[in-house]
Amino acid sequence: MIDEQPAVSPAFRVASIAILAAVTTVLTRVVQVPLPARGYINLGDVAIVFTAITLGPFSGAISGGLGTALADLLSGPYAFWAPISLFVHGLQGLLIGLICRVRPGNLGLQVLGGVVGMAVMAGGYFLAGIFIEGAGPSLTEVPGNLIQGGVGVVLGILVSAAVLRAYPPLRQWKW
């Protein structure tokens, strides 16, 4: 007898993405460390990396993009960054998930995916910042974005491993 996993319903996918988008929003808005130059470091990338590794590229893209865009909209002075966050963090989650999908559970690919995602995030904000504020101010945010991304990669991988260890059926729910 073959042990089949139940199919994941579209309603479950929508609900899980909505919950993880909310988690991303909270980690982006609530945990903020102001930078000396400008902007802030947050833990939203932890949720993006976790979601992309655990639930796959499309879940990572949608929840990461929506969650960070919503956090920007709720933050007042950063609201104009919302479309950029939607695109940049959405692409970040998509690429991490696609790279990790090659061999699920492979730590090397998780790290590679995280590094690629971190580069996309920092690079995307740098390029957008050039058009919005100029090259000089945009360049001052790169180190903070790289630190934020690096912390997100490490903690996102650790949280994913812990959750998958605690609830192995989740491995079958990727999208």
**Cα gap 103→97, rounded to integer Å:** 11
The sign one gets for the Cα dihedral 75, 13, 49, 132 is negative
Domain range enclosing 117: 10-166
pLDDT the model gives residue 3 = 47
**Cα gap 167→59, rounded to integer Å:** 18
**Cα gap 107→168, rounded to integer Å:** 17
- Answer whether residue 5 is part of any domain: no
H helices of the chain, where? 10-29, 44-55, 57-74, 82-101, 107-133, 135-140, 142-166
- Answer whether residue 2 is part of any domain: no
Each of the 175 residues of the chain gets a pLDDT tens digit; together they read 444 556 778 898 899 999 999 999 999 999 888 888 777 889 999 999 999 999 999 999 999 999 999 999 998 888 999 999 999 999 999 999 999 999 999 999 999 999 999 999 999 999 999 999 999 999 999 999 999 999 999 999 999 999 999 998 888 887 8
Domain total for the chain?
A: 1
- Answer whether residue 4 is part of any domain: no
Contacts of 140 (CB under 8 A, 6+ apart): 37, 38
pLDDT, one tens digit per residue, over 95-139 is: 999 999 999 999 999 999 999 999 999 999 999 999 999 999 999
Closest CA to 170 of 2, 3, 16: 16
Question: Full-prediction pTM beyond 0.85?
Answer: yes
Looking at residue 102, the DSSP 8-state letter turns out to be: S
Closest CA to 70 of 26, 103, 13: 26
CATH code at 112? 1.10.1760.20
pLDDT the model gives residue 31 = 85
